[in-house]
Structures are given as C-alpha cells and as structure tokens.
Structure 1
Amino acid sequence: MSLKLAVFDVDGTLVDSRQTILRAAVEAARDVGLPEPGYDAVRQIVGLSLHEALHVLAPQLTDAELAEFVARFQASFTRMHNEPGFKEPLYAGAEAHLRRLEKDGWLLAMATGNSRRGVNRLLDNHDWRSLFVSTHCASDGPGKPHPAMLLEAMKASGCEPRQTVMIGDTGHDIRMALNAGTRAQGVAWGFHTPDEVRAAGAHHVAADFDELDAELDRFAAAL
C-alpha cells in the first residue's frame, strides 16, 4: 500500500479560533496605542508567523514597537487560554475526520503558524499526540508560504510530494503547498473565503468535511 500523508493547518481548518485571534489582536493593539483592527484585517494575516502577521497588520511600527505588539498579543492569548474552562472548539466533524484518516492508513502531520507552546497545548487538550506523525510550526524555522514545514513533514513521514496533501483554509497554506510541490487542498470554512483560496491556486476547495473525505479518497485511489 502506497504511503499517503495529510498535512493539516490548525487555525481555521481544525480549530475555530476566530474569536480568540481577533480578541488577542484587538487587546494587543489597544495596549500599544494602535487603532483596534477589524475582523477583515485580522483574518488575512492568520497562518503567517506571529511576527510577520503583526508586521502586516501594522507595517509602520519600528522593530522595538513590533516586538512589544507581539508580546502583548502573546500575553492576551495566554490569558484567554488560562481562563477557567477555556477550550477553543474544533470545527464540527474535524475529530471524526482525523480519526477516519488514521484508520484508513493515512499518515498525519501538522503545519501551523502557532508557536511550539501552542502546538503542545493543542496536542494535550485534544489527546492528539499519538495521532500526528510530526508537527511543524513557526518556532521551527521559516513560516508560510515558505515550504520548510511541508518539506520537514515529508521527511519525517518518508513521503514524496506526489503522496502528500496540504489541507488549509488560507492562501498562505495553498502557496506553501505549491512551493513544496504537493497537492493544495483548500477548505471553505476558515479565515479566507473560498474565492481567495481558489485564487491562491488550490487544486480543490472542500465545502465541508464530507466533501474533504471524498476528495482525499480520490487522491489516495490515484496513488
């Protein structure tokens, strides 16, 4: 049986983090004296490494000011996650989808703009440590759309680009996949609109997890 690797983005693909990311951006902006950003501005930067994302959001900042903006965002995010009972919800169907892929012999990896601390928290909160062959994040090196995370995921799994699908909700995910020579699978429920994901070059955009299941089955059958 041919190896097959599904690499997942996190925010906007598996985890519905729209409210927490917006809140952290608004609180951080307020703390450093910037105008509060709207959701449409914030959603465009999700998927990038935090430093790059906030630079896009506020390109006028000096290096020192940007570092403070990043620190304030991280502090807000940490406060939210430390609130009693806090848990970012998974999108409906995400857990079942991952378990189905594992059962069907897929190797699973993660490629996210999150920090390593954020990845570890996610793995522990959802009992995913045994589910993913490898996890790759902004703490490891170049962020999206650089192909580094995908290249490392393929190396860890022993898979080639033709055996690999990158699944994500933003143009940053899609461009990373294309830069790595893998299948670029978009989803329609995250931070970027389906049209934005298609415009980035996605080979397909799934409307829901049932359609994603079917598309990955077609991909696997062709290997």
Structure 2
Amino acid sequence: MKPLAVFDIDGTLVDSRASIHEASCEAARALGLPEPDYDRVRQGVGLSLTEAMRRLEPGLDATELAAFVAAFQSAFRRLYDSGHEEPLYPGAMEHLHRLKADGWRLALATGQNRRGVTRNMMREGWAHLFLSSHCAEDGPGKPDPAMLSAAMRACDACPATTVMIGDTAHDATMAVNAGVLPVGVAWGFHTAEEQWAAGVVHVASDFTDLEAALARFADQTHLQRLTA
C-alpha cells in the first residue's frame, strides 16, 4: 500500500490569494480598520480564521474580534454568491489523479471551516479523490498536530508512512509536531525561506517536482518496510 499524502487546500491546491486578501480588506473596512496589505494577510493563512484575524488586529477585544471574523465570512460568502470560484493551480487536478491511480491514499488538512471544505469537496472529482478531510473546526488548528493525527487514523496510516504537503510554515510545523514528513510548495502564501525555517525537507517548484519528491518518499517507505 502506498503512503498517505495529506494536502493543504489554500495556496497548495487552490489559488485563493486574491479572494482572501479582498475579503480581509472588506472586513477591515466594515469595522473601520485600516486595510491590511497582502504581506500581513498571507502570514496568517493556514491558521484557524479566528487566529488569523487576531494576528491581523491583535488589539481587538473578544467582541470586536468576533465581529471581524464574521465580517470576513460575510465578505467571502458574497464573493461566492456572485459566482466566484477560486481556481485550482494549473496541474493540481492531474497531479491528484496520478497519485490516486498510483495507489496513494489522499486526505485534506486545512485551516478552512467545514463550510469551506464542503464547498471544495463539491469540485468535480474531489469527493472520489480524498479518503478524509480535516479542518480547524474539528479541533485544534495548525500548527497543532490534531488534524494530521485524525487523518492518519481515518486512513490507516502512521507518521512513517505519511507526508504533509502545504505552502506555509504552519503546515510544516504541524507536520513536525506530528512526526510526519513536511514537504512545501513554492507557489502559495509563504516563501520558500519561511517554509525551510519551519522544517520542510523539500520545497517543490511545480507539480512535476512535487511528484518526484513524493515518489522518492514512497520508494524510501517501501524499502524501510522490506528491511524492517
């Protein structure tokens, strides 16, 4: 049996950079706060929404923070009600299909809420690709290892046979905390340098590079089983 590949969504499979920044700015305007620049917004992507918004405006009290979160959610819903759908990164779907056809087990671990996960699972083909999905609403968010632990239980895997693929330092730290191999991608929210600092073993430049890195991990895992 091939290893388990756990994927982040935002910045890894789905290009949500513009929509997350736009919703953050709209939420700030609704509360009379200064609009955050993209660099500030991107740092919190991957964390739970409440934690990400707290980092944007650390001076807010609990009531104000709840209103900020609600304003972001409202802005995001308006985007989708207007027909907006965030695009997949070029090559993402083909990559997932190749892994699935090759026998990999696939799961999701994301800072999105369950509504966001459900929306993404409605993408054509996704319901048949992933064995399980785990989000910040299920328990502690990234970088706590809870989501990865749940994914391994659901998919009958262990840390030695699991790899986490994400675009942020939060993904990498979660993987390290779970004893799972962290692999980064270069096209999302955090820089390669930020991911290296958090402990990734590789930052893929494109999906071809990512596929090669996962193949090496699968070969090493197979060899370890044979020699155990």
Give the secondary-structure state (helix, strand or coil) at the position aligned to 1:212. Answer: helix
Give the secondary-structure state (helix, strand or coil) at the position aligned to 1:129. Answer: helix
User: 2:80 and 2:218 mapped to 1: Cα distance?
Assistant: 37
Contact preservation (8 Å) 1:110, 1:135: yes
Q: Corresponding residue for 2:133? A: 135
User: 1:108 and 1:91 mapped to 2: Cα distance?
Assistant: 18
User: 1:128 and 1:208 mapped to 2: Cα distance?
Assistant: 21
User: 1:133 and 1:71 mapped to 2: Cα distance?
Assistant: 30
User: 2:115 and 2:42 mapped to 1: Cα distance?
Assistant: 22
1:218 pairs, out of 204, 216, 227, with 216
User: 2:170 and 2:38 mapped to 1: Cα distance?
Assistant: 17
Q: Corresponding residue for 1:184? A: 182
Give the secondary-structure state (helix, strand or coil) at the position aligned to 2:216. Answer: helix
Displacement of 1:49 after TM fit? 0.2
Q: Structure 1: state its 5+ residue gaps.
A: none
User: 2:60 and 2:107 mapped to 1: Cα distance?
Assistant: 35
User: 2:22 and 2:43 mapped to 1: Cα distance?
Assistant: 15
Q: How many residues align?
A: 221
- After superposition, residues 1-223 of structure 1 pair within 5 angstroms as 2-84=1-83, 86-223=84-221
Give the secondary-structure state (helix, strand or coil) at the position aligned to 1:222. Answer: helix
User: Where has structure 1 moved over 3 Å in runs of 4 or more?
Assistant: none
Over aligned residues, Cα RMSD in angstroms?
Answer: 0.7
Give the secondary-structure state (helix, strand or coil) at the position aligned to 1:111. Answer: strand
Displacement of 1:139 after TM fit? 1.1
Q: Deviations over 1:32-57 (max 9, x none)?
A: 01100000000000000000000011
Displacement of 1:222 after TM fit? 1.1
Q: Give me the identity figure in percent.
A: 59
Contact preservation (8 Å) 1:174, 1:186: yes
User: 2:2 and 2:99 mapped to 1: Cα distance?
Assistant: 12
Matching residue's letter, 2:57: A
Matching residue's letter, 2:122: D
User: 2:90 and 2:195 mapped to 1: Cα distance?
Assistant: 21
User: 1:200 and 1:219 mapped to 2: Cα distance?
Assistant: 19
Displacement of 1:87 after TM fit? 1.4
Displacement of 1:149 after TM fit? 0.2
Displacement of 1:126 after TM fit? 3.2
User: 1:206 and 1:105 mapped to 2: Cα distance?
Assistant: 21
User: 2:139 and 2:77 mapped to 1: Cα distance?
Assistant: 22
Q: Deviations over 1:152-204 (max 9, x none)?
A: 00000110101000000000000000000000000000000111111111011
Give the secondary-structure state (helix, strand or coil) at the position aligned to 2:150. Answer: helix
Displacement of 1:125 after TM fit? 2.5
Using the size of structure 2 for normalisation, the TM-score is 0.96
Displacement of 1:104 after TM fit? 0.4
